[in-house]
Amino acid sequence: MKNSLKLFRYIKEYKMQSILAPTFKMSEAVLELFVPLVMAAMIDVGIESGDTGYIYSRCMILIALAAAGVVLAVVAQYFSAVSASGFAKNLREALMQKISGLSFFGLDKIGTSTLITRMTSDINQLQTGVNLTLRLLLRSPFIVFGSLVMSFFIDVKLALVMCVIIPVLVLVIWLIMRKNIKGYKKIQGKVDELLLKTRQAVGGVRVIRAFAKEDDLCGEFASENGSLYERQIKVGRLAGLLNPLTLVIVDLGVCAILISGSQRVWAGYVTQGEIVALVNYMAAILVELIKYADLIVNISKSLASADRVCEVLDHEDRQRVYGEGLSFEFGTGEIIGVIGATGSGKSTLAAMIGGFYPTHDNAIRIDGMDVGKWRESKSLGFVFQKPTIFSGTVEDNIKIAKEDATKEEMDEALRLACAYDFVYEKGGLSAKVEQNGVNFSGGQKARIAIARALVGMPELLILDDAFSALDNATAKLVYEGIFSRARERNMTVVDISQRMASILSCDRIAVLNGGKIAGFGSHRELYISLKEYRDICDSQEVQYEG
């Protein structure tokens, strides 16, 4: 509940609509309470005396009440829909802004699949909850208590029968809903697990097919899907008891009213029309209590979704600090190479230099300044180990780094990345890029990603194994072009690579081992003094001659 209150700020923009929606709905409820009384008058006066004119006049009143109720209900629905949709829109924007600002550690901790679930199904559930709350939270209790009060005005003794039936109805509904709410929370967790399994299957479909593991994957998916199905069936069976049980209780109440009422009609205490009105009020109470039960279920789902969304919105990134036991410094305009065995922490180091992970005790400094502070006034270019390009055009992808990039700047970046030729063969900067860049090869996507990082000529360029998808000849052309331009522009470059060939021309080289700097210096210094570096050189048949 506390988390739900936090989310109210996202509906403040629609405060007026949020007030008007229940107001119009309550007005419609007031009109609904008068319908049984009009019907009672029609039976007791019009039908009893055979007054056709009176019957027609009461029919016109019923039609007017129905028409007014429809108008009020439609207006209320409009305002509640506007409020709920606007609330969901604002919440999605806030959540997307939070996700965009999360560090790599934050993304890793929460998980991509659950972030997608919270952005989609959880916010949709909250939107539904807000919509139903605005329409039913006040209306249903008002109809229940209003019907009970109107029944007392008709006949106190018969109204007492309703006073017995209503608590029994409430108890049955509460017991069923209490069980269902726990079940719905477990179902939401299973949906997360199924989405994770689906995302892994789609993302790794090439690997799965390569090793003929389709049957194993289908089996695992069927297991997760079956578990979700069983939970949904279990909850559904329990929910399915709601209508039959409540109908039985109400029918028993109607029978009690008819039996008791028949005696009181003969005694002259009540009329036949008033008995019909009491039965109608009993039916209205049943309908509204079932609606209210559905509302409670949706509110419970929404509360669970609110907790999950707030968990992301309230997430504090600095829960783990990287770089303990690691410290090195380099200057503006230097070209720094980073090499190490697989799992030594090269990509993590790249993320730390880029400011995506918090570092321990200013572990990384440029010109004596913490890299985070240095970056506040400097531009950054980053090429990730797994290049990502987005659907649209080549120009759209390159302009992500610099929105106002000119054609000349983009062409220059493409030439440096050795991407100019194949891009213009496909139609130039306006060449279409399919989702995930499936119409480009891995090496072409890597070169477009390199061009994107270069277009703004950033003051700090980080290459996280950027040349792994390129053949040796192309990789050599690309890094020689980048290093040459970096020296001309006084650009700081951090080249993280498995290839000795690309880091030999760096000013200094950092050797990683077990997440720590094992050595930092020139190729000559490291080859002479550091065994780990010398082993890497020997494995790639690179030697120091001097």
pLDDT digits (tens, 9 = 90+) for 305-314: 888 888 888 7
What pLDDT shows up at residue 51? 82
**Residues 529/544, Cβ–Cβ less than 8 Å:** no
Give the helix/strand (H/E) hosting 112.
helix 112-117
Q: Tens of pLDDT along 255-278?
A: 888 888 888 888 878 888 888 888
What pLDDT shows up at residue 195? 77
What pLDDT shows up at residue 67? 94
Average pLDDT over every residue of 31-51: 85
Whether the predicted model's global pTM rises above the 0.85 cut:
no
What pLDDT shows up at residue 85? 93
The pLDDT confidence band at residue 70, using thresholds 50, 70 and 90, is: very high
Q: Tens of pLDDT along 122-133?
A: 899 899 889 988
Q: Which of 108-117, 194-203, 320-329, 459-468 is predicted most confidently?
A: 459-468
The pLDDT confidence band at residue 320, using thresholds 50, 70 and 90, is: very low
Strands 460-464 and 516-521: unpaired
Q: Which of 73-82, 276-285, 327-336 is predicted most confidently?
A: 73-82
**Residues 42/63, Cβ–Cβ less than 8 Å:** no
Whether the per-residue pLDDT at 146 is higher than 50: the answer is: yes
The pLDDT confidence band at residue 86, using thresholds 50, 70 and 90, is: very high
Whether the per-residue pLDDT at 460 is higher than 90: the answer is: no
3-class DSSP state for residue 500?
Answer: helix
Nearest to 110 by CA among 359, 315, 322, 303: 315
Q: Tens of pLDDT along 418-455?
A: 999 999 998 889 989 888 788 888 889 989 999 999 99
Tokens, residue 340: 């190490």
What pLDDT shows up at residue 362? 59
User: Taking the C-alpha atoms of 186, 191, 194 and 200 in order, what is their torsion angle to the nearest 10 degrees?
Assistant: -120
**Residues 383/494, Cβ–Cβ less than 8 Å:** no
The residue assigned the tokens 């120009």 is 395
Nearest to 367 by CA among 398, 330, 409, 319: 330
Whether the per-residue pLDDT at 321 is higher than 50: the answer is: no
Compute the distance between CA of residue 546 and CA of residue 531 in angstroms, rounded to an integer: 17
**Residue 486, C-beta contacts closer than 8 angstroms, at least 6 positions apart:** 333, 335, 461, 492, 493
The pLDDT confidence band at residue 82, using thresholds 50, 70 and 90, is: very high
Nearest to 354 by CA among 367, 368, 364: 364
- For the chain, percent of residues with pLDDT exceeding 90: 13
Q: Tens of pLDDT along 322-375?
A: 455 566 777 788 898 988 887 777 877 777 777 676 666 656 776 677 776 776
Whether the per-residue pLDDT at 83 is higher than 90: the answer is: yes
3-class DSSP state for residue 319?
Answer: coil
Compute the distance between CA of residue 161 and CA of residue 165 in angstroms, rounded to an integer: 6
Tokens, residue 298: 């949706």
The pLDDT confidence band at residue 103, using thresholds 50, 70 and 90, is: low
Nearest to 194 by CA among 116, 126, 125, 123: 116
268: exposed, middle or buried (Cβ count in 10 Å: 0-12, 13-18, 19+): exposed
The pLDDT confidence band at residue 68, using thresholds 50, 70 and 90, is: very high
Compute the distance between CA of residue 187 and CA of residue 300 in angstroms, rounded to an integer: 13
What pLDDT shows up at residue 90? 92
The average confidence (pLDDT) of the chain is 83
**Residues 142/291, Cβ–Cβ less than 8 Å:** no
Tokens, residue 253: 């109440």
Q: What is the DSSP letter of 320?
A: S
Q: Looking at per-residue confidence, does 60 or 372 come out higher?
A: 60
Query: How large is the angle between the packed helices 139-154 and 156-203, nearest 10 degrees?
Result: 160
Compute the distance between CA of residue 402 and CA of residue 410 in angstroms, rounded to an integer: 10
What pLDDT shows up at residue 319? 45
- For the chain, percent of residues with pLDDT exceeding 70: 92
Whether the per-residue pLDDT at 489 is higher than 70: the answer is: yes
Residues facing 481 on adjacent strands? none
What pLDDT shows up at residue 79? 94
The pLDDT confidence band at residue 317, using thresholds 50, 70 and 90, is: low
3-class DSSP state for residue 313?
Answer: helix
Whether the per-residue pLDDT at 283 is higher than 50: the answer is: yes
What pLDDT shows up at residue 104? 67
